Amino acid sequence: MEKEVTIYDIAKILNLSPATVSRALNDHPAINSKTKLSIANTAAELGYRSNTFASNLRRKSTSTLGVIVPRLDSSFMSAVLAGMEEVANKAGYNLLISQSLESQGKEKSNAKTMYNSRVDGLLVSLAYDTEGFDHFENFVKKRVPVLFFDRIFDHSECATIVIDNEKAGYDVTSHLIMQGCTHILHVTGNLKRNVYIDRLSGYRKALEAHGIAFDEAWVLETDLSREAGKAAVDYMEKLPVRPDAIFVANDICAISCIQELKQRGYRIPEDIAIAGFNNDPVSQVVEPSLTTVYYPGKEMGAIAVKTMINHLTGTSDIDPANSVVLQSELLIRDSSRKLQREARN
């Protein structure tokens, strides 16, 4: 290992003080631009690189944001991360990313790591089964800002970035009803999570608004996996009345439903209409194409980081007052165009 060049080396060569070198390197306004130039030059010549630790140690701030997501390998999450990375990178922040694999235990241990790594702020989307806020309490205590996105936790000191899941659920359900569907099965995820309980609530309200009775038996709580799709079809076939639509809370599972239904001889949407959620790339490719909800993942990531950085740089606070509700959008595709299809036949 070659020895590292420090600001002292530069200072000695140019007959300056280390402080001046430090300031010049940080583009401090009160430094002569010629001095800056010569410092920059010799720094480059010597192959100097600033020592982030020393700087962090001194300044008591990393320029790093921690991110905890349920899974890295989902198209939605990778869109979010892409958005985050872009904004963070531009603002000179690094991202420390980890996944909870949908497990509360791993989420807790990840939070601990982030805490010890002294991230400047923490961005979290909760795991499937997380309960309680304990593992983030440390951050709040030390006044490290925590921001939740997508799968959030309501807390008086945390901002949140979400879409209006209830409205989205309402819109999807209303749309299905407008297509003539009256028996709509809702396949959802863990109802501890806002995203699912809110979509359910929208589903329910839409039913009631159209004079359709809500029935708990028509709500199926699953893990929204591919396998859950098949199980949902099994469940559906056992219902006393055959549904004429299924509203699934994500696309992956919705598509698995479509495939399973097709295999069992159902026509979509004639026999059963399907709607998903997220606008996952597969939703456009499946046949019939899947009616779904556009979820602005990349924007969500970008705004989450922006909000965080604004707070860190003192522009704003990180409490619920700064929460954002992003716009989602119903995308009507073939899997639910029921009236039109029948009219055509």
Q: Which is nearer to DNA, 4 or 215 (CB)?
A: 4
The reply to whether 45 sits near DNA by the rule CB under 7 A is no
Binding region for DNA (CB under 7 A) out of 53-61, 137-145, 176-184, 246-254: 53-61
Site string for DNA, 114-143 (x = CB under 7 A): ------------------------------
Partner in contact with 316, chosen from a second copy, DNA, none, beta carbon below 5 to 8 Å by kind: none
Distance of alpha carbon 121 from alpha carbon 339, whole angstroms = 50
Among 1, 12, 13, 18, binds DNA (CB under 7 A): 18
Size of the site for DNA (CB under 7 A): 29
Site string for a second copy, 28-47 (x = CB under 8 A): -------------------x
Q: What is the dihedral of CA 272, 277, 282, 285, to 10 degrees?
A: 50
The reply to whether 105 sits near a second copy by the rule CB under 8 A is no
The reply to whether 25 sits near a second copy by the rule CB under 8 A is no
The reply to whether 19 sits near DNA by the rule CB under 7 A is yes
Most distant CA pair in the chain: distance in Å? Answer: 89
Q: Which is nearer to a second copy, 94 or 322 (CB)?
A: 94
Binding region for DNA (CB under 7 A) out of 4-12, 72-80, 123-131, 310-318: 4-12
Among 116, 156, 313, 345, binds a second copy (CB under 8 A): 116
> What are the backbone dihedrals phi and psi of residue 193, each rounded to the nearest 5 degrees, phi first?
-85, 130
Q: Which is nearer to a second copy, 137 or 342 (CB)?
A: 137
Residue written as tokens 């501890």? 192
Q: Which amino acid is at 45?
A: E
The reply to whether 99 sits near a second copy by the rule CB under 8 A is yes
Positions in the binding site for DNA (CB under 7 A): 3-4, 6-8, 15-20, 22-23, 25-26, 29-33, 35, 50-51, 54-55, 57-60
Residues that bind a second copy (CB under 8 A): 1-2, 47, 49-54, 56-57, 62, 64, 71-75, 77-79, 81-82, 85-86, 89, 94-99, 101, 110, 113, 115-118, 138, 141-143, 252, 255, 259, 281-282, 285-287, 298
